Structure 1
Amino acid sequence: MMVFYRDLPSPASLFSTYASLAGTIMMIKPMIHTIIPQPVQNFVVSYLKSLVGSSRSSTTLTLVISDMKGNEGSGIRRKNELYFSAQTYLSSKISPDASKLRMTRDPNNKNVNLYLSQGEVVSDVYKGIQLKWLYLAGSKKTSTVIDGGQDNEIVNSECYELSFDKKHRDLVVNSYVPYVERKSKVIKNEARIIKMHSYSSYSHRWESVNFEHPSTFDTMAMTHKLKRSVMEDLDRFIKRKDYYKRVGKAWKRGYLLYGPPGTGKSSLVAAMANYLKFDIYDLQLASVQGDANLRRLLLATNNSSILLVEDIDCSVDLPTRLQPATTTYGAPQGSTPLTLSGLLNCIDGLWSSCGDERIVIFTTNNKEKLDPALLRPGRMDMHIYLGHCSFEGFKTLASNYLGLSQDNDDTHRLYPDIKRLIDGQVLTPAQVAEELMKNEDADVALEGLVKVLKRKRSESEKCNDESKRMKMIEEDIQD
């Protein structure tokens, strides 16, 4: 059938018809709002949308991950850790083509953080599965009953919608979501600033500063065997959460660092904190007012942290069961002082289970002075002796301070002399470092070190000869 131009309506007729239809709609629309209640309108619209949506994506499952969790109307809302794990993970997946992002600066992070904005979508692939993340934000009015009255407030809420094919539900929930949590933890650790916490007796709380100690296992003047042993022990501890739960032990680990002053005990603590990205809580026992105060302090520490008690042998005189307790300095009248028993209960008693992934470190210059109760198995799991500087430790220090290679024993012409002279209890790593810092010229610095080693050797030999002579005199007198 052919349509001729003369059979088509004129533009004037088309415009007149459109104007009449638009006017009719404008007249009917208020009547619809008046006659049909708003809830009915909303129901019809949502029903039509569900029909369209179900026909279009009937195989899609969407999981909603809200930023807060809690019961409606209870007034108690807590952070949903899974939401924040997803937020951190998705910050590393943002497309360069994203048109709108949220920007924040977290005091615990080194850099500015970029997050998804309203309506932004991130696509991801996991084991061949296509997944889509959508960020949504909004607010709603909530009502809470308090003392017989009703309290209304506007609550802001955020969530991520994770969509994928329904048939992959088990794999996503049981494998992909834990994967997101693990990756989030890695990202947070890389950007995290370690904190050093100390207890203030004035504010009665932990106060913190950024911990920027540069010590690492690479810079420690330790033997490779000891370094490897400590690092492997830390790695094993971090990976054994389920193991500790299965055997019924609190997820904690105790280390006793002992040896003469200047052997690197504090530097090893810093290296462990930098290696694990753990905060350090420096506990000065002299400032603790009693056992109850100690429990409150430890409960206020975070998971994945190091509790450090330096110079445990002389930090405070802890009463034992055989020694009568005296009132701790600064403790309120009539309060129970800090005791050895109270400290031990916090280390490996019932209170030690109030937290996960904790490391307890004691340091001392005189291990023999410690109460045997502190050393029994199960309290300090690993005893690490840090002694005088070995040749292997010297090479690490020479690399740190002078830039010399530590791969070979013949890196410098003076290395053979140093290897011969440094063996034994001659100089501590701190004393060696002091000599190496005196001059940036390797020849001058090492020549100075050789002189010091020779002098120390001579003094030691004279001391040994004198000891032998006195011993012979005593034996002659007894004869």
Structure 2
Amino acid sequence: MFSLRNLPSLAPFVSAYESLTGYVMMIKPFLEMTIPPPLQNYMISYLNSFLHSTPSTLTLIIDDHIKNEMYNELYGAAQVYISTKVNHNAERLRISRDRSEKNVNIHFSVGEVVSDIYQGIEVKWRFCVDNNKSNMVHYFGEHFKLNPDRECVELSFEKKHRELVLNSYIPYVESKAKVINNERKILKMYSYCSMYLKWQSVNLEHPSTFDTMAMNEELKRSVMGDLDRFIRRKDFYKRVGKPWKRGYLLYGPPGTGKTSLVAAIANYLKFDIYDLQLASVREDVDLRRLLLGTTNSSILLVEDIDCAVDLHTRLQPKTQDDTKGSAMLTLSGLLTCIDGLWSSCGDERIVIFTTTHKERLDPALLRPGRMDMHIHMGHCCFDVFKTLASNYLGLSHDDPHHLYPEIERLIKGEVLTPAQVAEELMKNEDPDVALEGLVKVLKRKRLELEKYDGETGRGGLRKPELQFFL
């Protein structure tokens, strides 16, 4: 049973309080005489702020794009990093799943806050969307309403940890995001949306690799060696004062594997691809804006550059009548973005041009420093055929088929492209039947070419060209 007798006596506390009060009253006159009033006020103010203050907070805002429309790679790194910090206390989450993924992707919703601990300090992330910037854009006589949503993430922490966050935590987030992206191995294919003046992406699921790529083995090794050398020479490019980029020109007739080689390069390096359609670019300034919107460690692809736009006459000045209703993209503007000062706005980038008519291109596009390596993708030779036979029919290089000698004889010269050979091999799963059909096609094609050579005086089939320039 509760009793007041069990409570401790308050007499010691009362006695201590009386002693402390008497001591303060005794020294107060002495302190007032020896300490100047301004210093007294400062000490009292400091003591009050120490007893009643709350920790001050600093918030860093990380926008998805910088003012000049350059993509903010720190924003992308933050998105990847905080997606791994989902906890059971979250009230709203966004989920998605791409066709190539087995697991559901979880993202934070607008306003959701997630905490993180780094070296004993707490930081808080918050995802935000600014939708107060809706406006209209006048673009060559047309009006477009830009997407008003600008995304950002906020990073909040105590002000006293500012140096630690900026110099240690932010680099840690970037490095962790890079590791996460490499583990996910999901490449992106970007295309330009002229309505919103921005890049839009889809997952790149092209299966082409250098192992399955049907091309001359010597040329394949040269391309892979050049890529490896480019990736590991960051310090070299910095030392010699050159932007860390590399240019490749893929040329040859249709169906020779130019697009497959681009995909193989992307899969080999784990680089995203930015597919630039020059016909959709109106002005040089738009091209610069597009390049600023690309990320590091990426490929800028311009397919069929010989017919994309009329670049070979763009160096000539246009009159007012010529420019009405026509594009203002110039060869000079394109060259500046590829090899001028604008090309230094990024690291570890590859530029790839493809064309079926190399002779139509302006020589200014082809010089080293712009297109560093010229790769001729020619007709199917016997080595390329063997790779295709292995891919499509499962035939081994070590155990050649009895029709191989005849195919080797018939396939010499510009007879069929790799795409045409692959189409014949796909017609039947039985290797004997498929190869017999290919032999018939090769014989018929050679007769047609020999007849054409006799009529035009070409003097026989040409030996397949194989050129590459380092």
The alignment's TM-score, normalised by the length of structure 2, stands at 0.65
- Is residue 2:353 matched to residue 1:362? yes
Please give the per-residue CA displacement for 1:120-146, whole angstroms capped at 9, x wherever unaligned: 889xxxxxxxxx78765489xxxxxxx
Q: Distance in 2 between matches of 1:261 and 1:328?
A: 36
Please give the per-residue CA displacement for 1:95-117, whole angstroms capped at 9, x wherever unaligned: xxx997989758799545799x9
Q: Distance in 2 between matches of 1:385 and 1:435?
A: 23
Measure how far apart 1:391 and its partner are.
1.7
Residue of structure 1 equivalent to 2:414: 425
Residue of structure 1 equivalent to 2:137: none
**What SS class does the counterpart of residue 313 from structure 1 fall into?**
helix
- Is residue 2:284 matched to residue 1:295? no
Residue of structure 2 equivalent to 1:185: 178
Closer/same/farther in 2, CA of residues 99 and 343 from structure 1, 3 Å limit: closer
Closer/same/farther in 2, CA of residues 240 and 469 from structure 1, 3 Å limit: closer
Q: Which is further off, 262-271 or 411-420?
A: 411-420
Q: Distance in 2 between matches of 1:202 and 1:86?
A: 25
Closer/same/farther in 2, CA of residues 13 and 432 from structure 1, 3 Å limit: same
**What SS class does the counterpart of residue 307 from structure 2 fall into?**
coil
**What SS class does the counterpart of residue 314 from structure 1 fall into?**
helix
Letter in 2 for 1:364: T
Please give the per-residue CA displacement for 1:196-240, whole angstroms capped at 9, x wherever unaligned: 222233333333322222212122111222222112212222222
- Is residue 2:435 matched to residue 1:442? no
Please, which of 358, 374, 384 is the counterpart of residue 383 of structure 1? Answer: 374
**What SS class does the counterpart of residue 264 from structure 2 fall into?**
helix
- Is residue 2:395 matched to residue 1:404? yes
- Is residue 2:456 matched to residue 1:456? no
Letter in 2 for 1:208: S
Residue of structure 2 equivalent to 1:280: 273
Please, which of 242, 245, 253 is the counterpart of residue 252 of structure 1? Answer: 245
Please give the per-residue CA displacement for 1:81-101, whole angstroms capped at 9, x wherever unaligned: 59958985996xx9xxx9979
**What SS class does the counterpart of residue 228 from structure 1 fall into?**
helix
**What SS class does the counterpart of residue 400 from structure 2 fall into?**
coil
Measure how far apart 1:345 and its partner are.
0.8
- Is residue 2:6 matched to residue 1:16? yes
Letter in 2 for 1:232: G
Q: Distance in 1 between matches of 2:87 and 2:309?
A: 60
Letter in 1 for 2:365: L
**What SS class does the counterpart of residue 190 from structure 1 fall into?**
helix
Residue of structure 2 equivalent to 1:205: 198
Whether contact under 8 Å (2:60, 2:156) holds in the other structure is yes
Please, which of 198, 212, 215 is the counterpart of residue 208 of structure 2? Answer: 215
Measure how far apart 1:340 and its partner are.
1.0
Letter in 1 for 2:403: L
Measure how far apart 1:456 and its partner are.
1.6
**What SS class does the counterpart of residue 337 from structure 2 fall into?**
helix
Measure how far apart 1:427 and its partner are.
1.0
Please give the per-residue CA displacement for 1:361-414, whole angstroms capped at 9, x wherever unaligned: 111111112111111221101101110112221122122222222x32x33222
Letter in 1 for 2:409: R
Measure how far apart 1:261 and its partner are.
1.1
Measure how far apart 1:323 and its partner are.
3.5
Q: Distance in 2 between matches of 1:364 and 1:470?
A: 27
Closer/same/farther in 2, CA of residues 289 and 156 from structure 1, 3 Å limit: closer
Unaligned stretches of 5+ residues in structure 1: 1-10, 29-36, 47-65, 71-77, 123-131, 140-154, 161-172, 472-479
- Is residue 2:254 matched to residue 1:261? yes
CA RMSD of aligned residues (A): 4.7
Q: Distance in 2 between matches of 1:252 and 1:469?
A: 41
Please give the residue correspondences for 1:142-157 in structure 2 after superposition, counting only pairs within 5 Å. 157=155
Residue of structure 2 equivalent to 1:371: 362
**What SS class does the counterpart of residue 450 from structure 1 fall into?**
helix
Residue of structure 2 equivalent to 1:62: none
Whether contact under 8 Å (1:104, 1:112) holds in the other structure is no
Whether contact under 8 Å (1:299, 1:354) holds in the other structure is yes
Measure how far apart 1:339 and its partner are.
1.3
Please, which of 231, 236, 241 is the counterpart of residue 229 of structure 2? Answer: 236
- Is residue 2:402 matched to residue 1:413? yes
Q: Distance in 1 between matches of 2:370 and 2:363?
A: 11
Q: Percent identity?
A: 62
Q: Distance in 1 between matches of 2:371 and 2:247?
A: 4
Closer/same/farther in 2, CA of residues 136 and 253 from structure 1, 3 Å limit: same
